[in-house]
Protein backbone atom coordinates (compact mmCIF):
# COMPACT_ATOMS: atom_id res chain seq x y z
CA UNK A 1 0.00 0.00 0.00
CA UNK A 2 1.30 3.45 -0.91
CA UNK A 3 1.87 5.98 1.85
CA UNK A 4 -1.11 8.34 2.10
CA UNK A 5 -0.32 11.87 0.94
CA UNK A 6 -0.71 14.74 3.39
CA UNK A 7 -2.17 18.06 2.33
CA UNK A 8 -0.38 21.39 2.58
CA UNK A 9 -2.53 24.49 2.14
CA UNK A 10 -1.79 26.66 -0.91
CA UNK A 11 0.99 29.19 -0.49
CA UNK A 12 1.42 30.28 -4.11
CA UNK A 13 -1.11 29.44 -6.81
CA UNK A 14 -4.66 28.28 -6.22
CA UNK A 15 -5.24 24.54 -5.90
CA UNK A 16 -7.66 22.55 -8.03
CA UNK A 17 -9.79 20.03 -6.10
CA UNK A 18 -11.30 17.38 -8.37
CA UNK A 19 -14.75 16.06 -7.47
CA UNK A 20 -15.25 12.29 -7.24
CA UNK A 21 -18.87 11.47 -6.42
CA UNK A 22 -19.61 7.80 -5.68
CA UNK A 23 -23.32 8.46 -5.33
CA UNK A 24 -26.32 7.40 -7.42
CA UNK A 25 -28.03 10.79 -7.10
CA UNK A 26 -25.50 13.62 -7.30
CA UNK A 27 -26.99 16.62 -9.12
CA UNK A 28 -24.28 16.64 -11.80
CA UNK A 29 -22.85 13.16 -12.27
CA UNK A 30 -25.04 10.91 -10.14
CA UNK A 31 -24.33 7.23 -10.76
CA UNK A 32 -21.57 7.78 -13.34
CA UNK A 33 -18.75 6.90 -10.98
CA UNK A 34 -20.47 4.71 -8.39
CA UNK A 35 -18.75 1.53 -9.62
CA UNK A 36 -15.35 1.23 -7.94
CA UNK A 37 -13.38 0.48 -11.11
CA UNK A 38 -14.96 3.38 -13.00
CA UNK A 39 -14.41 5.74 -10.06
CA UNK A 40 -10.76 4.75 -9.82
CA UNK A 41 -10.19 5.39 -13.52
CA UNK A 42 -11.86 8.77 -13.22
CA UNK A 43 -9.61 9.61 -10.25
CA UNK A 44 -6.55 8.69 -12.33
CA UNK A 45 -7.79 10.89 -15.16
CA UNK A 46 -8.27 13.89 -12.88
CA UNK A 47 -4.75 13.47 -11.49
CA UNK A 48 -3.34 13.32 -15.02
CA UNK A 49 -5.29 16.48 -15.87
CA UNK A 50 -3.66 18.43 -13.04
CA UNK A 51 -5.75 17.99 -9.88
CA UNK A 52 -3.91 18.97 -6.70
CA UNK A 53 -6.27 16.94 -4.54
CA UNK A 54 -9.46 14.89 -4.88
CA UNK A 55 -12.68 15.26 -2.92
CA UNK A 56 -14.48 11.93 -2.49
CA UNK A 57 -18.12 11.93 -1.42
CA UNK A 58 -20.77 9.24 -1.06
CA UNK A 59 -23.83 11.28 -0.12
CA UNK A 60 -25.46 13.82 -2.38
CA UNK A 61 -26.00 17.20 -0.73
CA UNK A 62 -28.03 18.67 -3.60
CA UNK A 63 -31.35 20.35 -2.68
CA UNK A 64 -34.04 17.74 -2.09
CA UNK A 65 -31.63 14.82 -1.84
CA UNK A 66 -32.43 11.93 0.47
CA UNK A 67 -30.15 11.63 3.54
CA UNK A 68 -27.97 8.53 3.57
CA UNK A 69 -27.44 6.39 6.66
CA UNK A 70 -23.91 6.04 7.95
CA UNK A 71 -23.53 2.37 7.03
CA UNK A 72 -24.74 2.99 3.48
CA UNK A 73 -22.40 5.95 3.05
CA UNK A 74 -19.45 3.87 4.22
CA UNK A 75 -20.47 0.94 2.03
CA UNK A 76 -20.22 3.25 -0.97
CA UNK A 77 -16.86 4.66 0.13
CA UNK A 78 -15.06 1.55 1.35
CA UNK A 79 -14.36 -0.07 -2.06
CA UNK A 80 -12.90 3.11 -3.56
CA UNK A 81 -11.35 5.19 -0.80
CA UNK A 82 -8.09 3.35 -0.17
CA UNK A 83 -7.42 2.65 -3.88
CA UNK A 84 -7.79 6.37 -4.59
CA UNK A 85 -5.60 7.27 -1.61
CA UNK A 86 -2.98 4.82 -2.92
CA UNK A 87 -2.71 6.90 -6.10
CA UNK A 88 -0.51 9.25 -4.05
CA UNK A 89 -2.49 12.48 -4.19
CA UNK A 90 -4.12 14.11 -1.14
CA UNK A 91 -7.70 12.92 -0.75
CA UNK A 92 -10.47 14.87 0.97
CA UNK A 93 -13.49 13.14 2.47
CA UNK A 94 -16.73 15.00 1.77
CA UNK A 95 -18.96 14.21 4.76
CA UNK A 96 -20.71 15.87 7.69
CA UNK A 97 -20.68 12.66 9.77
CA UNK A 98 -17.92 12.34 12.35
CA UNK A 99 -17.73 8.56 12.15
CA UNK A 100 -17.28 8.63 8.38
CA UNK A 101 -14.54 11.23 8.82
CA UNK A 102 -12.89 9.04 11.44
CA UNK A 103 -12.92 5.94 9.22
CA UNK A 104 -11.70 7.87 6.20
CA UNK A 105 -8.96 9.56 8.21
CA UNK A 106 -7.83 6.18 9.53
CA UNK A 107 -7.70 4.95 5.93
CA UNK A 108 -5.42 7.82 4.96
CA UNK A 109 -7.66 10.73 3.93
CA UNK A 110 -5.75 14.01 4.14
CA UNK A 111 -8.59 16.50 4.58
CA UNK A 112 -12.18 16.65 5.87
CA UNK A 113 -14.74 18.65 3.88
CA UNK A 114 -17.82 19.32 6.03
CA UNK A 115 -20.74 20.97 4.22
CA UNK A 116 -22.23 21.94 7.59
CA UNK A 117 -19.12 23.63 8.97
CA UNK A 118 -18.72 21.35 12.05
CA UNK A 119 -22.27 22.30 13.14
CA UNK A 120 -24.31 19.24 12.10
CA UNK A 121 -22.60 16.43 14.01
CA UNK A 122 -21.56 17.44 17.55
CA UNK A 123 -18.64 15.00 17.40
CA UNK A 124 -17.14 16.32 14.16
CA UNK A 125 -14.85 19.03 15.56
CA UNK A 126 -13.29 16.72 18.14
CA UNK A 127 -12.93 13.97 15.55
CA UNK A 128 -11.11 16.24 13.10
CA UNK A 129 -8.86 17.47 15.91
CA UNK A 130 -8.01 13.90 16.92
CA UNK A 131 -7.20 13.03 13.32
CA UNK A 132 -4.97 16.08 13.03
CA UNK A 133 -6.32 16.93 9.58
CA UNK A 134 -7.20 20.21 7.90
CA UNK A 135 -10.94 20.88 7.60
CA UNK A 136 -13.11 22.78 5.15
CA UNK A 137 -15.95 24.48 7.03
CA UNK A 138 -18.73 25.34 4.60
CA UNK A 139 -21.58 27.78 5.18
CA UNK A 140 -24.99 26.19 4.79
CA UNK A 141 -28.65 26.94 5.41
CA UNK A 142 -31.73 24.73 5.49
CA UNK A 143 -33.39 27.00 2.97
CA UNK A 144 -32.77 30.21 1.08
CA UNK A 145 -34.13 33.53 2.37
CA UNK A 146 -34.00 36.46 -0.02
CA UNK A 147 -34.64 38.88 2.84
CA UNK A 148 -31.43 38.32 4.78
CA UNK A 149 -28.00 39.93 4.50
CA UNK A 150 -26.26 36.82 3.20
CA UNK A 151 -22.73 38.09 3.92
CA UNK A 152 -23.63 38.85 7.54
CA UNK A 153 -25.23 35.41 7.82
CA UNK A 154 -22.05 33.78 6.49
CA UNK A 155 -19.94 35.76 8.96
CA UNK A 156 -22.09 34.64 11.90
CA UNK A 157 -21.97 31.04 10.75
CA UNK A 158 -18.19 31.10 10.31
CA UNK A 159 -17.68 32.62 13.76
CA UNK A 160 -19.51 29.61 15.22
CA UNK A 161 -17.55 27.14 13.07
CA UNK A 162 -14.20 28.71 13.93
CA UNK A 163 -15.12 28.73 17.62
CA UNK A 164 -15.98 25.02 17.49
CA UNK A 165 -12.72 24.30 15.70
CA UNK A 166 -10.69 26.39 18.16
CA UNK A 167 -12.26 24.75 21.21
CA UNK A 168 -11.61 21.29 19.79
CA UNK A 169 -7.97 22.14 19.20
CA UNK A 170 -7.94 22.37 15.40
CA UNK A 171 -5.13 24.83 14.64
CA UNK A 172 -6.03 27.92 12.64
CA UNK A 173 -3.54 26.88 9.96
CA UNK A 174 -5.70 23.81 9.34
CA UNK A 175 -9.01 25.65 8.98
CA UNK A 176 -10.48 26.52 5.57
CA UNK A 177 -13.68 28.46 4.84
CA UNK A 178 -16.17 27.78 2.04
CA UNK A 179 -19.08 30.21 1.49
CA UNK A 180 -21.17 27.36 0.07
CA UNK A 181 -22.31 28.52 -3.36
CA UNK A 182 -25.76 27.09 -4.04
CA UNK A 183 -26.43 25.90 -0.50
CA UNK A 184 -29.41 27.72 1.02
CA UNK A 185 -28.93 30.79 -1.17
CA UNK A 186 -30.89 32.57 -3.85
CA UNK A 187 -29.33 33.01 -7.28
CA UNK A 188 -28.68 36.69 -6.56
CA UNK A 189 -27.09 35.91 -3.19
CA UNK A 190 -24.60 33.61 -4.89
CA UNK A 191 -23.43 36.47 -7.08
CA UNK A 192 -23.24 38.85 -4.14
CA UNK A 193 -20.94 36.34 -2.42
CA UNK A 194 -18.82 35.90 -5.55
CA UNK A 195 -18.42 39.62 -6.11
CA UNK A 196 -17.49 40.28 -2.48
CA UNK A 197 -15.59 37.08 -1.74
CA UNK A 198 -12.53 39.04 -0.68
CA UNK A 199 -14.42 40.34 2.36
CA UNK A 200 -14.26 36.81 3.83
CA UNK A 201 -10.49 37.10 4.03
CA UNK A 202 -10.96 39.18 7.18
CA UNK A 203 -11.28 35.87 9.04
CA UNK A 204 -7.65 35.15 8.18
CA UNK A 205 -8.26 31.71 6.69
CA UNK A 206 -7.96 30.23 3.17
CA UNK A 207 -11.13 30.24 1.09
CA UNK A 208 -12.47 27.40 -1.01
CA UNK A 209 -14.91 28.16 -3.83
CA UNK A 210 -17.06 25.46 -5.38
CA UNK A 211 -19.60 26.54 -7.99
CA UNK A 212 -18.96 23.85 -10.59
CA UNK A 213 -22.01 23.31 -12.84
CA UNK A 214 -24.33 24.86 -10.26
CA UNK A 215 -27.77 26.39 -10.76
CA UNK A 216 -26.45 29.96 -10.57
CA UNK A 217 -24.66 29.26 -13.87
CA UNK A 218 -27.63 27.58 -15.52
CA UNK A 219 -29.89 30.45 -14.48
CA UNK A 220 -27.72 33.03 -16.27
CA UNK A 221 -26.79 31.02 -19.35
CA UNK A 222 -29.98 29.02 -19.76
CA UNK A 223 -28.10 25.74 -20.18
CA UNK A 224 -28.40 22.29 -18.63
CA UNK A 225 -25.94 20.88 -16.10
CA UNK A 226 -23.60 19.23 -18.59
CA UNK A 227 -23.27 22.47 -20.58
CA UNK A 228 -22.02 24.64 -17.72
CA UNK A 229 -18.25 24.24 -18.12
CA UNK A 230 -17.53 27.73 -19.46
CA UNK A 231 -19.79 29.35 -16.89
CA UNK A 232 -18.06 27.35 -14.15
CA UNK A 233 -14.67 28.53 -15.36
CA UNK A 234 -15.80 32.17 -15.36
CA UNK A 235 -17.07 31.90 -11.80
CA UNK A 236 -13.95 30.15 -10.54
CA UNK A 237 -11.55 32.56 -12.24
CA UNK A 238 -13.45 35.40 -10.60
CA UNK A 239 -13.31 33.60 -7.26
CA UNK A 240 -9.54 33.19 -7.46
CA UNK A 241 -9.09 36.84 -8.38
CA UNK A 242 -11.27 37.73 -5.39
CA UNK A 243 -9.29 35.65 -2.93
CA UNK A 244 -10.07 31.93 -3.27
CA UNK A 245 -7.15 29.58 -2.63
CA UNK A 246 -8.90 26.36 -3.70
CA UNK A 247 -11.51 25.70 -6.38
CA UNK A 248 -13.63 22.53 -6.29
CA UNK A 249 -14.46 21.38 -9.82
CA UNK A 250 -15.82 18.57 -11.97
CA UNK A 251 -13.76 19.47 -15.04
CA UNK A 252 -10.13 19.47 -13.94
CA UNK A 253 -8.07 20.11 -17.07
CA UNK A 254 -9.71 23.39 -18.15
CA UNK A 255 -9.57 24.75 -14.61
CA UNK A 256 -5.97 23.63 -14.09
CA UNK A 257 -5.02 25.47 -17.29
CA UNK A 258 -6.81 28.60 -16.05
CA UNK A 259 -4.97 28.45 -12.73
CA UNK A 260 -1.60 28.17 -14.48
CA UNK A 261 -2.37 31.15 -16.71
CA UNK A 262 -3.53 33.23 -13.76
CA UNK A 263 -0.30 32.40 -11.95
CA UNK A 264 1.82 33.33 -14.96
CA UNK A 265 -0.02 36.63 -15.19
CA UNK A 266 0.46 37.35 -11.50
CA UNK A 267 4.18 36.58 -11.68
CA UNK A 268 4.60 38.21 -15.11
CA UNK A 269 6.60 35.18 -16.21
CA UNK A 270 6.27 31.48 -16.94
CA UNK A 271 5.96 29.80 -13.51
CA UNK A 272 7.12 26.42 -14.83
β-strand pairing of 135-138 with 53-57:
unpaired
Q: At 103, phi and psi to the nearest 5?
A: -65, -45
Identify whether 202 is a catalytic site residue: no
Active-site choice (248, 253, 266, 269): 248
Least confident among 8-17, 24-33, 128-137, 168-177: 24-33
Average pLDDT over residues 13-21: 97
Catalytically annotated residue among 97, 214, 215, 228: 214
Residue 67: the pLDDT is: 85
Name the region of 107 (left: φ>0; alpha: ψ -120 to 50; beta: rest).
alpha
Gyration radius (Cα) of the chain, Å: 17
pLDDT digits (tens, 9 = 90+) for 99-116: 999 999 999 999 999 999
Pick the CATH number of 15-267 from 3.40.1260.10, 3.40.190.10, 3.30.460.80, 3.20.20.20: 3.20.20.20
Q: Is the pLDDT assigned to residue 163 strictly greater than 60?
A: yes
CB atoms within 10 A of CB 255: 27
Question: Dihedral of CA 254/259/265/267: which sign?
Answer: negative
Residue extents of the structural domains in the chain? 15-267
**DSSP 8-state secondary structure symbol assigned to residue 116:** T
Catalytic site includes residue 141 = no
Distance of CA 228 to the CA centre of its chain: 18
- Find all residues with CB under 8 Å of 84, minimum gap 6, and list them: 20, 39, 40, 43, 54, 56, 91
Amino acid sequence: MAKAASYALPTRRAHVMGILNVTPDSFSDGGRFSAADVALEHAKSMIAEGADLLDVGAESTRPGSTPVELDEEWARLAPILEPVIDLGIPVSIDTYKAEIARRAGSAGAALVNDVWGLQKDPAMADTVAELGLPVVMMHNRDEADAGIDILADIDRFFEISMSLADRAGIPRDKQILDPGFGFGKTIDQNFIILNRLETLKKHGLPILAGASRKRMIGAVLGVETDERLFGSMAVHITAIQNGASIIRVHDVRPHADCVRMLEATRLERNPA
